[in-house]
Amino acid sequence: MTDPNDPFVPVMAEALLTCLSVAVSGNPGTPQHIAYRVGTEPAHDLGQLIDYCCEGLAYVAMGDSWASKTFPDPDIAPQANIPCAPPAWGMVFKVGIVRCVPVGTDTQPPTDDDWNTAFIQNMWDAQALRRAQCCFRNWVRSRDDALLGMSIVMGNQTQNNPLGGCVERSFMISVQFPNCDC
């Protein structure tokens, strides 16, 4: 998967997806879909024949990118007026897990047992996301190549409200990498 034209972003994305895959694999209810998604609001129920939400979707998506000489802050200096290109870039990735929530039937609301089961799965997913964050942090810290000395900022883990029978738990992680593009 590594792209020789971009030695950093594909490698970091692959490490994040690997960390996420390992983190969810040992838990009950391992998501059936562990993959990249495009955009910061991945579709939960894309497709008429596959229910990604109820089958479980664990994903890594790429977000904003910015020039940064004082990571995680973006540069605010007009780039054309300074003699040197920014030394580094910052990029945010979103990592999440999407699940079904109980909806009941046409005649019965979800039971307490249904909600308890969903809550317990949500706790497992929260733990998996924390493990994925720690795994990626350790991966960045262990680098002795061009990422040596680069940093990350682990964002809050957030929980969305149910939408269309799906619920999403995710975190944002900002990553610094050297500027080899300018």
Task: Write out the DSSP string of 66-106.
Answer: EE-SBTTBPP-S-GGGSSS--SEEEEEEEEEEEEE-----S
Give me the domain span that covers residue 126: 9-178
Q: Report, in angstroms and rounded to the nearest whole number, the Rg of the chain calculated over CA atoms.
A: 19
Whether the Cβ atoms of residue 118 and residue 99 lie closer than 8 Å to each other? yes
CA distances from 8 to 15, 110, 138, 154, 180 (A): 11, 46, 16, 18, 9
Helix (H), strand (E) at residue 18: helix 9-25
Grade residue 29 by pLDDT with cuts at 50, 70 and 90. very high
Q: pLDDT value at position 19?
A: 98
C-alpha to C-alpha distance for 59 and 34, rounded to whole angstroms:
6
Q: Answer whether residue 15 is part of any domain.
A: yes
CA distances from 161 to 70, 99, 122, 166 (A): 35, 11, 12, 8
**Alpha carbon 113 to chain centroid distance?**
30
Specify burial of residue 125 (Cβ count, 10 A radius: 0-12, 13-18, 19+): buried
Mean pLDDT of the chain: 88
Interaxial angle between packed helices 9-25 and 112-141, expressed in degrees from 0 to 180 and rounded to the nearest 10: 140
Q: Answer whether residue 40 is part of any domain.
A: yes
Q: pLDDT value at position 131?
A: 97
Mean pLDDT of the region 82-102: 88
Mean pLDDT of the region 22-48: 87
Say which residues have a Cβ less than 8 Å from residue 123's Cβ, sequence separation at least 6: none
Q: Answer whether residue 68 is part of any domain.
A: yes
Q: What is the pLDDT of residues 45-78, one digit of tens each?
A: 666 777 888 899 999 999 999 988 888 998 876 6
pTM: 0.90
Q: pLDDT value at position 173?
A: 96
Q: Which two tokens stand for residue 79?
A: 């780039």
Q: Answer whether residue 1 is part of any domain.
A: no
CA distances from 113 to 76, 102, 104, 118, 157 (A): 52, 10, 11, 9, 25
Q: Total structural domains in the chain?
A: 1
Q: Answer whether residue 53 is part of any domain.
A: yes
Q: What is the CATH number of the domain that holds 38?
A: 3.30.70.1700
Q: What is the pLDDT of residues 140-156, one digit of tens each?
A: 989 888 777 788 999 99
